[in-house]
Amino acid sequence: MTVHISQTEPVQQFLKEASGVFNDAGNPRVKTLIHRVLKDSVKIIEDLNVTPEEFWAAVNYLNVLGSRQEAGLLVAGLGLEHYMDLQLDAQDEQAGQLGGTPRTIEGPLYVAGAPLSQHEARLDDGSDAGTPLFMQGQVKDIDGQPVPGAIVDVWQANTGGTYSYFDPSQSEFNLRRRIQADSDGRYRFRSIVPSGYGCPPDGPTQQLLDQLGRHGQRPAHIHFFISAPGHRHLTTQINLAGDKYLYDDFAYATRDELVAEIRFSDDQVKAKQYGVSGTFAEIDFDFTLQASEAPKAQQRGERVRALEES
């Protein structure tokens, strides 16, 4: 037997009361948001006949999600972080702010305050016997002019697909660096070819993905924040061509313009110049920034991040 009470006057009044709508204290924006969450929640409970067992399973799921610090992972996996990008893209289109390297999601694994170096850096600490990777490129503006001194803040996984800080077995800031580009906007770094990421198999995000019949894998990728005075902050990633999951990313971050060709080489003359032996890999990738004089647009959006002062 189904009953329909959610849209009745007493229930609607009750939801307003629970959202603090009738008091003068608190935060009006939070009241608006929570009121909507409650209204939509009771509608879902009613429309989909949510049982008490399902309700309490969901409550417990939130507890587990938080205790495992996976809320940021779940919103990536459900495509909500990508949706926030679609929203920003649509706003940009409406404002005519077009061109440049596309944004894509930050993900949950950035750590603030990586070592800063000039023009070049080595990202890996040498402990992971991955294939040496030499990546270089130029930061430019929409007119193709170099952006001198741009900051390239780069982070990536190791060959096990894990990130330093979140993987405490890695050294501090391993595979994380900030590189200030030279007077021609050029940057370069030595690293190792990353492996794709997989959600912790025993965690709540993967547990839900299993229920959706989905995997929790990302293609091999490298994250970037690119910033410079007079330009719009860019949050993006490159995804490595040839990866099995390139167009099957559980976090939906791949964009055609962000697919980077990776060249594997056994050329030992070149290897020697690079100071390595055996197989190595190269990536060339330029970033193009939109111009902006607005100070807020020049900085990354506010969000709680590891080791970031607020």
Closest of 195, 215, 219, 218 to residue 207, by C-alpha? 215
> Which tokens in the block code for residue 16?
């307003």
| DSSP code at position 257 | G
Closest of 26, 279, 252, 297 to residue 134, by C-alpha? 279
218 is catalytic: yes
On the 0-12 / 13-18 / 19+ scale of CB atoms within 10 A, 121 is: buried
Rule CB under 5 A: is residue 216 a binding residue for Fe ion?
Answer: no
| CB distance 102 to 297 below 8 Å | no
State the minimum distance, in angstroms, from the CB of residue 155 to Fe ion: 7
State the minimum distance, in angstroms, from the CB of residue 152 to ligand MBD: 17
190 is catalytic: no
| Contact partner at residue 105 from ligand MBD, Fe ion, none, CB < 5 to 8 Å by partner kind | ligand MBD
| Contact partner at residue 78 from Fe ion, ligand MBD, none, CB < 5 to 8 Å by partner kind | none
197 is catalytic: yes
State the minimum distance, in angstroms, from the CB of residue 157 to Fe ion: 6
Looking at the Cβ atoms of 218 and 233, the one nearer to ligand MBD is 218
Looking at the Cβ atoms of 65 and 109, the one nearer to ligand MBD is 109
| CB distance 286 to 257 below 8 Å | no
| Contact partner at residue 255 from Fe ion, ligand MBD, none, CB < 5 to 8 Å by partner kind | none
- Would you tell me which residues interact with ligand MBD (CB under 6 A)? 73, 76, 105, 107-109, 197, 218, 251, 253
Stretch that binds Fe ion, among 102-110, 202-210, 258-266, 273-281 (CB under 5 A): 102-110
State the minimum distance, in angstroms, from the CB of residue 150 to ligand MBD: 22
| DSSP code at position 271 | H
Buried b (16+ CB within 10 A) or exposed e, 164-187: bbeeeebeebbbbbbbbbbeebbb
- Choice among 218, 231, 233, 255 that is catalytic: 218
H helices of the chain, in order, are 9-18, 28-47, 52-67, 71-77, 80-95, 204-211, 268-274
| Contact partner at residue 234 from ligand MBD, Fe ion, none, CB < 5 to 8 Å by partner kind | none
Rule CB under 5 A: is residue 107 a binding residue for Fe ion?
Answer: yes
Rule CB under 5 A: is residue 132 a binding residue for Fe ion?
Answer: no
Looking at the Cβ atoms of 19 and 235, the one nearer to ligand MBD is 235
Q: What are phi and psi of 291, to 5 degrees?
A: -80, 145
| CB distance 104 to 232 below 8 Å | no
Characterise 47 by phi-psi region: left (phi > 0), alpha (psi -120 to 50), beta (else): alpha
In angstroms, the CA 131 to CA 125 distance is: 13
Looking at the Cβ atoms of 19 and 217, the one nearer to ligand MBD is 217
State the minimum distance, in angstroms, from the CB of residue 253 to ligand MBD: 6
| Contact partner at residue 251 from ligand MBD, Fe ion, none, CB < 5 to 8 Å by partner kind | ligand MBD
177 is catalytic: no
Stretch that binds Fe ion, among 23-31, 44-52, 103-111, 278-286 (CB under 5 A): 103-111
State the minimum distance, in angstroms, from the CB of residue 45 to ligand MBD: 30
Which residues contact Fe ion by CB under 5 A? 107
Active site residues: 163, 197, 218, 221, 223
